[in-house]
Amino acid sequence: MPNPQSTSRTGPLSGRKAQANRNDEAILHAARQVFIADPAAPISAVAKEAGVGISALYRRYESKEVLLQTLCADGLATYIACAEAALASDAGPWERFTSFVRAVIDADVHALTVSLAGTFTPTEEMFRQTALAVDVAGRIFQEAHEAGVVRSDFAFSDIAMLLEQLTAVSGPNPERTRELRHRYLAMHFDALRPEAARGEMPGPPPSDEELGARWIPRG
């Protein structure tokens, strides 16, 4: 989302466009807060939380469905950015993998998955984003596997479940939540080391079909 104060070849944004950008940022922030807390909340609750009129919200998002699609597309874009940043680093395979997972946890991307999967119909663009997300994150995971820095029975599809588990950890404020999530993430990282393996894990990892089925609209 562009900064309303930024300039380009055409100069600063007009007052009206700058206000529209501020409204859009406020709406998306409010939507995240409202729908993670209650996916069934009405769109009017988002307008109230954002401090904008319902007409201003509908000018940007014609329905709750479109707002949810945009919100989750932004989450996918954040996930991709975290993976690309890890791939661009000069760190080793283990450090790339752990920095990627930490960044996704800190961005709280999977709070959207836990709360909103199955509540709307994904767009074709979201499917394209998902394919890109799988590609870039898969490269990090494959590198870690080939380097032998993660246990051999840890599958790529396990990462999604690990991230969702940590999303459930919550403290009394954002700082404490981050601290607690990093505490339990450190335990997960220790368990993922090859030397931590004590026999095979019970049951297979989640299949692509199992993960994807959660995004099919319910009812």
Sorted by sequence, the CB contacts under 8 Å of residue 144 that are 6+ apart come out as 93, 94, 96, 97, 150
- When pLDDT is cut at 50, 70 and 90, the band that residue 54 belongs to is very high
- When pLDDT is cut at 50, 70 and 90, the band that residue 198 belongs to is confident
Please report how many Cα atoms fall inside a 13 Å half-sphere around the Cα of residue 176, on the Cβ side: 4
Both ends of the chain: CA-CA distance in Å? Answer: 33
Q: Is the pLDDT of residue 214 over 50?
A: yes
DSSP 206: P
The answer to whether 205 touches 158, Cβ cutoff 8 Å, is yes
Structure tokens of 199? Answer: 């026999």
The answer to whether 82 touches 163, Cβ cutoff 8 Å, is no
Nearest to 15 by CA among 25, 2, 27, 5: 5
Q: Is the pLDDT of residue 180 over 90?
A: yes
Q: How far is CA 29 from CA 4, 47, 64, 210, 211, in A?
A: 16, 11, 14, 30, 26
Predicted local confidence at residue 33, as pLDDT: 93
Among left, alpha and beta (phi > 0; psi -120 to 50; other), residue 52 is beta
Please report how many Cα atoms fall inside a 13 Å half-sphere around the Cα of residue 66, on the Cβ side: 8
Sorted by sequence, the CB contacts under 8 Å of residue 111 that are 6+ apart come out as 36, 167
Q: Is the pLDDT of residue 129 over 70?
A: yes
The answer to whether 137 touches 83, Cβ cutoff 8 Å, is yes
Nearest to 99 by CA among 112, 82, 75, 76: 82
Separation of alpha carbons 156 and 142, rounded Å = 8
Separation of alpha carbons 86 and 97, rounded Å = 7
At what angle are helices 15-37 and 43-50 packed, to 10 degrees? 120
Q: How many residues does the chain have?
A: 219
Structure tokens of 10? Answer: 């055409």
Q: What is the pLDDT of residues 85-102, one digit of tens each?
A: 999 999 999 999 999 999
Please give the helix or strand (H or E) that residue 156 lies within, else none. helix 156-167
- When pLDDT is cut at 50, 70 and 90, the band that residue 8 belongs to is very low
Quote the pTM value: 0.85
Q: Is the pLDDT of residue 163 over 70?
A: yes
